[in-house]
Structure 1
């Protein structure tokens, strides 16, 4: 059977792991697979944080001020401008639509689309075009575990099905059902069977073929980076704001064997002539056997390899992130590491369920930097109960640790309904007086809201202080191997 996969995730630095995995499973079963990558035909993607320009601080201030403005017209204009510049809009995806039309003209039996929620307009155009040719279309993505979003997408004319959950165990059955069988498949909602129950988390990773990235535009990527994942979910998994552990691939923690990870590293390195890897695990130190396996064997598996990963710094239990372990990780090729700061105020960290302290994070960034690993951190502004002093504490943490941190990503609080925070706000709104005017947004999967935290006394000056420290850190030029991963995570 001829199956085309449309990759609307459109990463600009490396292939899409989930699409490569689907392609490998289908090819192993004997299907003829085509992958449509918008990046290959010049479609832009969302930018990751890179070194800001000389006026970057003022740009960040303007972005923040307009995002939290109490004037509705200002926020509406900001949203309108962002939408006009979005690579997700149908006009920006004209080349993608042309590629899909070309595949349909040449003949295909089924279209599978991998997409985030912001790509609904483009998916609607693809589904309509496919319907005119009598070709079924099924879309999958991380947000479809929310029934209201799945139903919203299933309403698109020409949409044959919406899939939620992890597809590996049901993919071939899904193809048979959509192509005529019509039988129920776990995780699949269709116009005839609109009720959706996400497919259960998949666990037998070692039985899967390695992801197939042969179709991706390797010549367009700045570096030949192979994406890998050693496990799904998060070994911590209780941060109240985190939607990753509630979406398709994040539910419960499951790990591959290190032997399977090691074999894939060697195979992908040979196939794509590279030794650069990005590990996409939510928390690579969730399975310490895999973490220490990489530290012990990565260089013998792929000599000279460089890799990047995200980890979680917690205060209870062994984390594998001590000073000596980090030095060994650097010798094993770990050149850039990401962890969540979120806030340096202990009250906010506790409310978030982070399981860490500013002191533990301080030790980690110092040890990682001293080991020669470039450190990237994330932060969140506007968590319920956050005060101006809390923001100033975070600003001071960044100032004190400027020599040890190379990049900081600042996010304003986003609320997803299925997260513990989203559920708590809807269940007991009186406990969160700062958060109001809740309105589910089916286009983004978020809960639109008003956050009075941003307009509390002294909050804006504290944010400006923090943004200035972020700017000073992010202006630092990266050096050596860490430069390979600029803009990657």
Structure 2
């Protein structure tokens, strides 16, 4: 039996991992980012975005392949809301949750209600859910299936993001990670990770980044960050790839220390990416961030004191965000000089608290739907889109490498926020279809 694992747009780590599992089970397996599969092959779709469920191209791929007698299995983060996957894509089944063990059984026995981790339609078009797959042992798995062109991939500067641990101690309302992997941290061994790093380098990877939500939670136990193990990992990766080819960007503002910052300075490209989200403590509390704007400001300052670059992401248009809250975010960017800034509109990922809040919020109170009536009224965009657009231009003026907003940049930003708004409204509509009252 031959399997094709398709991961749209990029080779995700999850797709490579599933490919490695199937390879070591003795199956003929290939990995692709293109939406294509040969008729006699079994298609495994690894999907990481709600937008994938709304893609006409992906829907056509599934429909055409099944019409020719091919099997289609879907997994990845979208499996957390399998009702939407089944309803929108109509595959043979969905692998729900962590899929390493599930795909072994699925590949060997086919769709069955005899083991957990599957969701599918029965003969009467009712959904059968066999239960979420049990958590796997992250130290008992094969090497990922690394494609030969991995060196040409660029995800925020990295050829790939490798997994060092699963789970997150945070409870951010917009994030799926703690709902998907849990809030207990399950870490891999340093030796296992370094073995994988060597394989990625051998296959041509140019730069590797640490994944897992918050890099410094590696080997986190009993409420304590294990600085020693984190430093050992960063040093080991740098010895293999070179310090300019390693990054550990994503870290919570309350999960840093002088030792961690020094390790990042010594063994990586020297960047940290903080999910800052808002300058308003009221909004941060609604988001469940577990940190304040003052803590965020102190974290940015600490990075600069250690000679590091600090980037930050911000979310606007969160239901309940007022104009005053938004102005606090602008003030935060003004007062805390960041080296790079990323802006997004609040997206309701299904089965997160934010999604539940969006379902409860009337459109006339949701900034994603409310027409903007102030400075950018002539652009005919919504309040959330206007805040995103405005904050992008504002951030450019206060970054360490100030960038003037030219006409071309203005047009690009406007196009991007309009697309973001449209995507989120489409996602909200399908969310209501499956989970609305």
Instruction: Give yes or no for TM over 0.5.
Output: yes
Residue correspondence of structure 1 range 181-192 to structure 2 within 5 A: 182-192=112-122
- Are 1:422 and 2:362 counterparts? no
Contact kept in structure 2, 1:437 and 1:450, CA below 8 Å: no
Residue 415 of structure 2: aligned partner: none
- Are 1:294 and 2:226 counterparts? no
Contact kept in structure 1, 2:82 and 2:94, CA below 8 Å: no
Residue 135 of structure 2: aligned partner: 202
Contact kept in structure 1, 2:43 and 2:70, CA below 8 Å: yes
CA deviations on 1:252-309 (whole Å, 9 max, x unpaired) are: 3332233245433543354235562112211222344665423235334542232132
- Are 1:124 and 2:59 counterparts? yes
Residue 250 of structure 2: aligned partner: 310
CA distance in 2, matches of 1:214, 1:332: 26
- Are 1:232 and 2:162 counterparts? no
SS in 2 for 1:384: coil
Pairwise CA distance, 1:220: 5.8
Contact kept in structure 2, 1:385 and 1:453, CA below 8 Å: no
Residue segments in structure 1 that go unaligned for 5+ positions in a row: 39-95, 439-447, 479-489
Residue 264 of structure 1: aligned partner: 195
CA distance in 2, matches of 1:337, 1:165: 29
SS in 1 for 2:127: coil
Partner residue of 1:160 out of 63, 71, 92 = 92
SS in 2 for 1:35: strand
Residue 395 of structure 1: aligned partner: 330
CA deviations on 1:41-63 (whole Å, 9 max, x unpaired) are: xxxxxxxxxxxxxxxxxxxxxxx
Contact kept in structure 1, 2:22 and 2:104, CA below 8 Å: yes
SS in 1 for 2:343: strand
CA distance in 2, matches of 1:410, 1:220: 23
Question: Relative to structure 1, is the Cα distance of residues 270 and 6 closer, same or farther in structure 2, using a 3 angstrom cutoff?
Answer: closer
Residue 342 of structure 2: aligned partner: 409
- Are 1:344 and 2:262 counterparts? no
Residue segments in structure 2 that go unaligned for 5+ positions in a row: 377-382, 404-437
Pairwise CA distance, 1:388: 1.9
Please identify, of 213-222 and 26-35, the stretch whose mean Cα deviation from structure 2 is larger.
Answer: 213-222
Question: Relative to structure 1, is the Cα distance of residues 202 and 216 closer, same or farther in structure 2, using a 3 angstrom cutoff?
Answer: farther
SS in 2 for 1:207: coil
Question: Relative to structure 1, is the Cα distance of residues 173 and 449 closer, same or farther in structure 2, using a 3 angstrom cutoff?
Answer: farther
CA deviations on 1:332-370 (whole Å, 9 max, x unpaired) are: 225221111111112221222211122211111111123
Residue correspondence of structure 1 range 27-426 to structure 2 within 5 A: 27-38=23-34, 96-97=35-36, 100=37, 103-104=38-39, 107-108=40-41, 110-115=42-47, 116-120=49-53, 121-153=56-88, 156=90, 159-178=91-110, 182-192=112-122, 194-197=127-130, 199-219=132-152, 221=154, 225-236=159-170, 238-246=171-179, 248=180, 250-274=181-205, 276-287=207-218, 288=220, 292-303=228-239, 304-305=242-243, 306-314=246-254, 319=255, 321-402=256-337, 405-424=338-357, 426=359
Question: Relative to structure 1, is the Cα distance of residues 381 and 302 closer, same or farther in structure 2, using a 3 angstrom cutoff?
Answer: closer
- Are 1:470 and 2:401 counterparts? no
SS in 1 for 2:276: strand
Contact kept in structure 2, 1:266 and 1:302, CA below 8 Å: no
Residue 54 of structure 1: aligned partner: none
- Are 1:25 and 2:21 counterparts? yes
CA deviations on 1:391-434 (whole Å, 9 max, x unpaired) are: 222111111222xx1221112222234222333565xx4xx6xx
TM-score by length of 2: 0.76
TM-score by length of 1: 0.68
Question: Relative to structure 1, is the Cα distance of residues 286 and 267 closer, same or farther in structure 2, using a 3 angstrom cutoff?
Answer: same
CA distance in 1, matches of 2:76, 2:349: 15
Contact kept in structure 2, 1:234 and 1:245, CA below 8 Å: yes
Pairwise CA distance, 1:122: 2.5
Question: Relative to structure 1, is the Cα distance of residues 260 and 194 closer, same or farther in structure 2, using a 3 angstrom cutoff?
Answer: farther
**Number of equivalences:** 380
SS in 1 for 2:273: strand
